[in-house]
């Protein structure tokens, strides 16, 4: 049985310091993705999207383990966040938030293999959101990131630090606010939860 460990191989992307932001370059990766909108704390659509992503990802994992004798851990849930009105996002008007939830998949996975896994997951579980999943390549490029320790609702100061870090280096913000959820909120104490906060950046013209 061949084993893959994406978290270990991509340690520099998935274990940033909580003390200081850092600059990284994120290459192309492939993901199961699903889009939605609304308050993640109360939206049924959000809950169903999370369930669908994990159902497809675990079905894929065990399918590959059986068919190809390759085992790997399922990667953490990630989210891209934005709003049509940037002020609504920064002000925390969650009903106006839009999001793309996603889980990274290994390079060995092809579109056809991913499609088979989604079909199999649909046969096993009645999750309507599985119909909305897509398998897509996403390249983030130059980004700033930091580890946030604590509840999601307390991320504000961490985000401010990250944006200030970029500004001090004459870097502009681009793309969507990105979070990577390393802790299970059902098990971890809120004050100990770990979330990577990432922001794509670009070099401003002098």
Would you write out the chain's pLDDT as a tens digit for each of its 206 residues? 899 988 888 988 999 999 999 999 999 999 999 999 999 988 899 999 999 999 999 999 999 999 999 999 999 999 999 988 777 677 778 888 899 999 999 999 999 999 999 999 999 988 999 999 999 999 999 999 999 999 998 998 999 999 999 999 999 999 999 999 999 888 889 999 999 999 999 988 76
Q: State the total domains in the chain.
A: 1
User: How much is the pTM?
Assistant: 0.93
- Helix/strand/coil for 135: strand
- Provide the residue range defining the domain that includes 84: 21-203
**Domain at 30, CATH number:** 3.20.80.10
7 part of a folded domain: no
13 part of a folded domain: no
9 part of a folded domain: no
148 part of a folded domain: yes
Measured between alpha carbons, how far is residue 169 from residues 52, 144, 197, 202 in Å? 39, 11, 18, 10
47 part of a folded domain: yes
């Amino acid at each position: 049985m061949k084993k893959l460990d994406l978290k270990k191989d991509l340690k520099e992307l998935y274990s940033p310091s909580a003390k200081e932001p850092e600059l990284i370059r994120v290459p192309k990766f492939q993901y199961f993705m699903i889009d939605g909108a609304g308050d993640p704390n109360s939206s049924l659509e959000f809950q169903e999207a999370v369930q669908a992503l994990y159902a497809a990802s675990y079905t894929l994992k065990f399918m590959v383990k059986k068919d190809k004798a390759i085992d790997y851990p399922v990667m953490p849930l990630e989210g891209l966040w934005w709003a049509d009105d940037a002020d609504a996002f920064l002000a925390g008007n969650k009903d106006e938030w839009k999001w793309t939830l996603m889980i990274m998949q290994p390079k060995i996975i092809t579109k056809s293999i991913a499609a088979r896994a989604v079909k199999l997951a649909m046969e096993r579980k009645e999750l309507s959101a599985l119909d909305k999943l897509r398998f897509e390549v996403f390249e983030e490029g130059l980004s700033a990131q930091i580890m946030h320790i604590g509840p999601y609702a307390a991320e504000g100061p961490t985000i401010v630090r990250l944006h200030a870090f970029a500004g001090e280096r004459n870097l502009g913000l681009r793309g969507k606010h990105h979070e990577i959820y390393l802790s299970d909120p059902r098990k971890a104490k809120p004050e100990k939860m770990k979330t990577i906060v990432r922001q794509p950046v670009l070099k401003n013209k002098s």
